[in-house]
Amino acid sequence: MADLLSFFLLLLPLSFAKPVTDGKEFAAVERLQASLAQTTSYEAAFTQTVHSKGMGPEDPSTGTLSVIKPDKLRWEDRTTLVTQILNGDEYWELTENKRRKSRTVTYQKGVRKHLSRTSFSVLSGSGKFQDFYRVKLVSESPTEAVLELVAKALPHESLIAKIDKNGYVLRSLTTETPDSKVVLEFSQVRRNPRFEPERFRYVKQDGDVFQSRKE
């Protein structure tokens, strides 16, 4: 479930403790905040590449991310055949086995309490982004703005977000630790699409093997 935490950054209502001093830079951040505030749902295709600093990059995986603010998310990886679904206080992880024509279904209830100090609180509006991250505008061009995000609790971990200024949407997100780097690239971005409720629910199929996690 750790993967889900980073992807909430797509729609966070960014808020900064102190504005940057340069007026032009602050204007770019304000535009991004306004764009995100008007977004209630989101869908994008993704390509994820994991770089191990000891072994090099793994083969990229591709899939689709769907989000409804403040607490619904579906991460569907077509390469690994793993789907993660978050709906309020419930979490499902579906792992498909094509050879056996079955799926392993992992279910957990009560996940909100594990996320309340980070992504959930910011996403729901009850927390502020600056409570968890130090934010710096690294660079800006006519087409792109680059933000560096450093977690206050884990200063050795950083995020680099590249924002497309044509519509102010996230185009890539890079997470880096001393041991690895994960690069997420987004395309075919759709803002405020309408979703069927079933997209954020577990729908039973023949051959499902059900498991559960303790809260």
Predicted local distance difference test score (pLDDT) of residue 120: 46
Q: What is the pLDDT of residue 14?
A: 42
Burial status of residue 71 (CB atoms within 10 A of its CB: 0-12, 13-18, 19 or more): buried
What pLDDT, on the 0 to 100 scale, is given for residue 2?
42
pLDDT at residue 12, rounded to an integer: 44
3-state secondary structure of 165: coil
Please say whether the beta carbons of 103 and 208 come within 8 A: yes
Q: Which amino acid is at 26?
A: F
Closest CA to 201 of 113, 105, 81: 105
DSSP string for 76-133? EETTTTEEEEEETTEEEEEEEETTTTEEEEEEEE-THHHHTTTHHHHHHTSS-GGGTE
The single-letter code of the amino acid at 8 is F
Asked if residues 85 and 200 have their Cβ atoms less than 8 Å apart, the reply is yes
pLDDT at 208: 93
β-sheet bridge partners, residue 43:
66, 190
212's CB contacts (< 8 A; 6+ apart) are: 106, 107, 108
Residue 139's pLDDT is 87
pLDDT at 95: 95
φ/ψ of 86, rounded to 5, equals -120, 125
pLDDT of residue 129: 54
The length of the chain, given as a count of residues: 215
Structure tokens at 156: 């050795």
Question: Which stretches in the chain have pLDDT values below 50?
Answer: 1-7, 9-21, 119-127
Q: What is the pLDDT of residue 19?
A: 42
